[in-house]
Amino acid sequence: MELQAELTGHLERVWCVSWNKAGNLLASCSGDKTIRIWGKEGNNWVCKTILTDSHNRTIRRVAWSPCGQFLASASFDATTCIWDRRSGEFECTATLEGHENEVKSVTWAPSGNFLATCSRDKSVWVWDVDQEDDDFQCAGVLTSHSEDVKNIRWHPEKEVLASCSYDNSLRLFHEDDDDWISFAKLEGHESTVWDFAFNKTGNRIASCSDDKSIKIWQEYLPGNDEGIATPEGVSKWKCVCTLSGHHQRAVYSIDWCHLTGMIATACGDDAVRIFLEDGTALDQRNEPSFYPINIKHQAHREDVNCVSWNPTEAGLLASCGDDGSIKLWKVPTN
């Protein structure tokens, strides 16, 4: 794992890094209440824009819309801001309110028709999106979790939303008769589930936890060959692999590369680790095996908070940490 660039400028810890779909812009957010947009000029990565004055507390998460023209930011001030760059400059055109406490994450559906937010108030909100009119209407308030909801992500191909929580579980939601409902609960972690990621096709989830482990969950569709029951014709998710003994502290972030199949983790032990599936396992579907292929100790001087794979350049990984820096790594792909 080779360091390609170190991006500095944030004045406090950096919580999140997020690539746009084209992979040519990276957004970061920080405890300094700012968002920075990074891009390449020649061979160097530089800060293109600094977005300020939208939030009055820590910005915890940023997420690009699928079209790349909008950026959403989630803050501890209990709001989510929508930034529109269709005019060529980023402009905050909407502020979403409703959560009672810190908004921990925000994510766009693959279609761009929905946005979701989650909060310390234990709820997940789904918003209908009308991008032309900058209109966001609450379509559902989901209260399935019993504790702080740490992160949310959409299925890569379907309008299925997933969440993870301080209550040690993950949940899956879909729309049913104009109402959003939870159709699956994934239990197995012994402590807070900090993050998770779908694989490329969305039939697997990798989750990471305060219990220092990674779990791989497999989806079983109705009529599956294994004979696993799917009550009411709804998919069943089961844990098929647990990776433990690799991390020394809580695992805060995980991302599954859709180009290479590599899984990256960010840990409280200041390291970034890369895992890959063993393609020689006898039963790759029901008993897969994953192994570490790369580890960067002291990737950051303090906790690593987030890792994110570039969606178009194989092996390019962004990380950020409590040390206030963002780093770009090149991970060998063979």
User: Is pLDDT at 250 greater than 90 in this prediction?
Assistant: yes
146 token code pair: 């019993």
Which band of pLDDT confidence, cut at 50, 70 and 90, is reported for residue 190? very high
Q: What is the pLDDT of residue 54?
A: 86
Q: What is the pLDDT of residue 300?
A: 97
Q: What is the pLDDT of residue 80?
A: 97
211 token code pair: 């219990």
Report the distance separating Cα 101 and Cα 123, nearest Å: 10
Bridge partners for 8 per DSSP: none
Q: What is the pLDDT of residue 177?
A: 83
- What's 174's domain CATH number? 2.130.10.10
Domain count, the chain: 1
Report the distance separating Cα 113 and Cα 130, nearest Å: 7
User: Is pLDDT at 329 greater than 80 in this prediction?
Assistant: yes
Express each pLDDT in 289-320 by its tens digit.
999 999 999 999 999 999 999 999 999 999 99
Express each pLDDT in 123-178 by its tens digit.
999 999 987 777 899 999 999 999 999 999 999 999 999 999 999 999 999 998 88
pTM: 0.96
The percent of residues above 70 in pLDDT, for the chain, comes to 99
Domain that holds residue 246: 2-330
User: Is pLDDT at 281 greater than 90 in this prediction?
Assistant: no
Q: What is the pLDDT of residue 123?
A: 97
User: Is pLDDT at 334 greater than 80 in this prediction?
Assistant: no
